[in-house]
Chains A and B, each alone.
Chain A
Amino acid sequence: MNHPILSLQGITKEFRSKERTFTALKNVSLSVEKGEYLAITGKSGSGKSTLLNMITGIDHPTNGTVQVNGIAIGGLNESKLAKWRGQNIGIVFQFFQLIPTLTIRENVLLAMEFVDVIPKANRSKRVNELLELVGIASHANKMPSALSGGEQQRAAIARALANNPEIIVADEPTGNLDSKTADSINSIFSSLAHSGKTVIVVTHEKNSALKYKRIVNLLDGEIENQNPLN
């Protein structure tokens, strides 16, 4: 454990509309070590998604800096940011968000194609391994619509892993799944963390939270407590 892989410092996020300014994050600081398995919890509207957007560079803070692997991502332009994100961060969404017109295998390949860090010759093999890893190898050539929600989320995780990123973030990845399926998805995340990935998951589910190494609880845009579990 040398320097943190992720470090947020004094993050404030304001949403301005004509009438008023709403502060979604208030001076949040957070650092995450490599290989950590971290949960972000909190009530609806407490700022969880906003915080994730800061980490992924999808949105920019009003104040404060975000450093990932020593790089301040605030300094990257849209295009560099997209490349960087593809290489360093795998994102998993609540609603899976697979490209409906491509098969599962093609969805994963597309991510590799965009980022172009995995040598072309290795891509096909890697897709197989990833789908194997998330347990849907047999569905590789199906369209997303032919898969169940749990299977689609597995595919989305495989896609998030496509370019072998250091960090995986997921915003309520199991929010749309039944508890049994949710458990299996969570166990994928936990084994990813075991294998050395940094995994950050936004979640509502209290019991599954038990598996996390650390839980960051947000309340009205502030970190209420950071509870490293042992």
Chain B
Amino acid sequence: MKFKKTFSDLLVNPKRTFLVVFALILGIWGVGTVFVSNFILTKDLNTNYQRTRPAQVIFHSAKFDELNLQQFIDLPEVETAELRDFSLHRIEVYPNVWIPLWLFGVEDFEKINVAQVFQETGNKIPEAGTLLVERDGKKVSNIDTGKEPRIRVGGKILTVKVSGICFDPAQAPATQDAFIYAYTDMKTYSQITGLPNNQRLIVRLNNVHNEADVKKISDILANELDAKGITISSVEIPRFNEHPHQWQLNTLLFLIGTIGLLAFIMGAVLVSQLMKSVMASQVRQIGILKAIGGTQRQVFQIYVAMLVLMGLSAGVVAVPLSVASGNAFSYFVAGKLNFNILTTTLPHSVYAGLMAASVLLPILLSFSILLKGTRISVKEALSDYGISQNVAQREFGFLKKLSLSNSLILAIRNSLRNSKRLTITILAMALGVAIFSTGFNVRQSLWNLLSGLKNEMRYDVQVALNNPISKEDAMQWFKSLDNVKEVETWVGGRGEIQSKVISTDKGAGIIALPCDTKLLQLRINKGRWISKSADFKVVLNQQAMAVYKNPALGSTLTLTVGNKNVNAKLVGVTEQFERAKIYVDLEQFDAIFNPDHLVNTLIFVARENDYSKVIELKKEIEKSISKSDLHVLYVMSQAERVKIIYDHLNIILTSIVLLSFLVLVVSAIGMASATGINIMERTREIGVMRAIGATPKKIYSLFVMEGMITSWLSIVFGLLISWPLSKLAAVFFGNLMLGKEAILQSAFSLSGFLITFAVTILFGWMASRIPAKSAIDVPTHKALSYE
């Protein structure tokens, strides 16, 4: 019977019950989605990556022919090792569009045991003279099994057949970096490239737990190899056990974590508010239950049973929803980051955990309210004097002085009458507003960074050569270009691939350029730009600062390039979305490292520089190159570079705005429910107002006015909160995306502000409109008898 009461109580006020269940669904859904996608993604990206058995250290040497590989593998430090040729070329992805080709030569596809690739379609092992292409490349090209794309190796062009598509989840996705990864056997590799085999040894180590361990052991190994006459020219240590785009996943997980937490808080606040209102309306009944002999425990049980029922029904909806949305999000991210979702079924414990949370959370959230509500004494519950309502009965005299209309005064007083709830509502909504507008501001910061990039790089097309040649040899091919205003020649250059061509022993790329160049105007955060001087001065970007352990301005660093050293003075630090780079005056660089004044980067400035003209110029340059014998690494237009960076950030930018919008919706729902509770509690009052002649329209506008007051207050508070929040977020995302120490300049997005403003007012209006509408639909006699 007790539980019959529970059940029928739930049905007595179906709207309120629905609201509670809805709030629960919201909360559980939020937390559940985060939980499920976290569960899947963190595990699966790493599993995908580890499944390839990625190399932990890579040695380069021209003398690996002399290495007894088996003996090397038998060393206690070495788990396993393989020779894996690698070189960079170019591949035609669409007619006259060329992008970098990462070509790998594999020792033995049958026994591949380090940096594995997996068969997708076509051949597992490429037939002699053919390639396997990594699957994400299909998204940026028309290359597929059976096609014969053109490849440019050094100065010559050849066609190679693609005999299969494979999957290599250890690589940064082709879609973001605009690379094609291809794999072939060693013989074909040297046939295509004309390069010697066995220059590169990829190794997995035993008993290493972090990058420092790897560093230590690889130093030992390099020394041992050197001692055997196998001179190691360079050692590469990839990030330890981490996918190259792990940072994107981390950012995304953090984002949805925040949203999930917010949805949860919002749901929690709602549930406890609703339970409070339920308890308030049940006071008299609690009194009766006790008068006829019910103990507090028995009465408590009734309401706990009520919560269990609501929790269960919320769980039934929210758990599958969470699993669905968590899965959907995981697949979305996996698609973007090019890895496979391996978790096909979630363990039962995940379902059980979510379900248990659905049932337990509402009880925990309302425990104190229930305890308080059921503790009330019979006398208090039944007394004609009523229990003292927690209602502010103050006059708010200042309102009178403002000569407002009576109904506005009533609206304001009504808003203030449950000040605790009002505070919670406004805080929740303000938080939504703050996050929404912070989302826009962070987006603006990133945009500023991108447009800053455009400002920094005042050239249009960059041609990067494989190896340095004389300026005259390089320039002769481009004499006839029409739309060219200016050309500069540099050594080294921007982007990842250039770092591979010329970099210090620590892996920071070199960019040697005339210090008075007009074509690169970097934003200097600390210190100043390089200038003509007698000594070797450098500007480092933030990433290079990290590589060199954050030296102080004015200090001296030893740079090693090839087999030469120089002591360089750090004069400035610049902030970039880039690999680690070191900027140095070309004359200084040539004096020490480049006595023959060779160049490997041509910088073109177009006369007419709108997008189509630049792309046109780029095609012209490509045509000139195809007639030449230049060994070209890549040709990239500035516009494309910005696009590539944008593509890296896009997934995050989009998620930020989308998710912030979700937060706002959630808080609007929260507000609607709070208004709903408010109105529900005042149903009798509405009846009275109508009995004394208020038209439904008057009552309706009264509630909408109340809603507007809440929205306005939320906007004000929200924007106040968003200011410091945006600053924090800029620092956070800067660190996450640009590397430690990097600071993303916080920015204010006007359009974001206007959108936030409009959306909040609209939501506030809807949030009060809907419950107000349903309130005036209650007939007067019912409203008057409402308990």
Residue of A whose beta carbon sits closest to that of B384: A49
Interface size class of A (residues with CB under 8 A): 20 to 34
Q: How far is the CA of A21 from the CA of B382 in the complex (A)?
A: 22
Give A62 Cβ to nearest chain B Cβ, in Å: 14
Q: How far is the CA of A111 from the CA of B284 in the complex (A)?
A: 16
Say if the beta carbon of A48 comes within 8 Å of chain B: no
- Find B9's partner among A53, A86, A101, A109 (CB 8 Å cutoff): A101
Instruction: List CB contacts (< 8 Å) of B367-392 with chain A.
Output: 375, 377-379, 382
CB-defined contacts of B12 to chain A, threshold 8 Å: 100-101
Say if the beta carbon of A126 comes within 8 Å of chain B: no
A58 B377 Cβ-Cβ under 8 A: yes
A102 B296 Cβ-Cβ under 8 A: no
B288 A97 Cβ-Cβ under 8 A: yes
CB-defined contacts of B297 to chain A, threshold 8 Å: 79
Q: How far is the CA of A86 from the CA of B294 in the complex (A)?
A: 7
CB-defined contacts of B379 to chain A, threshold 8 Å: 53, 58-59
Say if the beta carbon of B246 comes within 8 Å of chain A: no
Residue of B whose beta carbon sits closest to that of A87: B293
Residue of B whose beta carbon sits closest to that of A90: B292
Q: How far is the CA of A95 from the CA of B296 in the complex (A)?
A: 23
Q: How far is the CA of A226 from the CA of B284 in the complex (A)?
A: 34
Say if the beta carbon of A162 comes within 8 Å of chain B: yes
- Find B1's partner among A56, A100, A113 (CB 8 Å cutoff): A113
Say if the beta carbon of A188 comes within 8 Å of chain B: no
Q: How far is the CA of A110 from the CA of B9 in the complex (A)?
A: 14
B290 A82 Cβ-Cβ under 8 A: yes
B293 A102 Cβ-Cβ under 8 A: no
Say if the beta carbon of B485 comes within 8 Å of chain A: no
Q: How far is the CA of A78 from the CA of B8 in the complex (A)?
A: 27
Q: How far is the CA of A86 from the CA of B2 in the complex (A)?
A: 15
- With known contacts A85-B291, A87-B293, A91-B291, A110–B2 Cβ distance under 8 A: yes
- With known contacts A100-B12, A100-B787, A110-B1, A79–B296 Cβ distance under 8 A: yes
Say if the beta carbon of A83 comes within 8 Å of chain B: yes
Give A187 Cβ to nearest chain B Cβ, in Å: 23
Contact with B along A47-58 (1 / 0, CB 8 A): 000000100101
A79 B295 Cβ-Cβ under 8 A: yes
Among B1, B284, B292, the one with the most A-chain Cβ atoms within 10 Å of its Cβ is B292
CB-defined contacts of B292 to chain A, threshold 8 Å: 86, 91, 110-111, 114, 159-160, 162
A82 B294 Cβ-Cβ under 8 A: yes
Instruction: List CB contacts (< 8 Å) of B8-29 with chain A.
Output: 8-9, 11-12
Give B219 Cβ to nearest chain A Cβ, in Å: 74
CB-defined contacts of B231 to chain A, threshold 8 Å: none
Q: How far is the CA of A18 from the CA of B301 in the complex (A)?
A: 36
Say if the beta carbon of B298 comes within 8 Å of chain A: yes
Residue of A whose beta carbon sits closest to that of B787: A100
Contact with B along A102-145 (1 / 0, CB 8 A): 10001001110111000000000000000000000000000000
- With known contacts A58-B379, A97-B288, A100-B12, A115–B293 Cβ distance under 8 A: yes
Q: Which 3 A-B pairs have the closest CB atoms?
A: A86-B293, A101-B8, A115-B293
Residues of A that sit less than 8 Å from B by CB: 53, 56, 58-59, 78-79, 82-83, 85-87, 91, 93, 97-102, 106, 109-111, 113-115, 159-160, 162-163
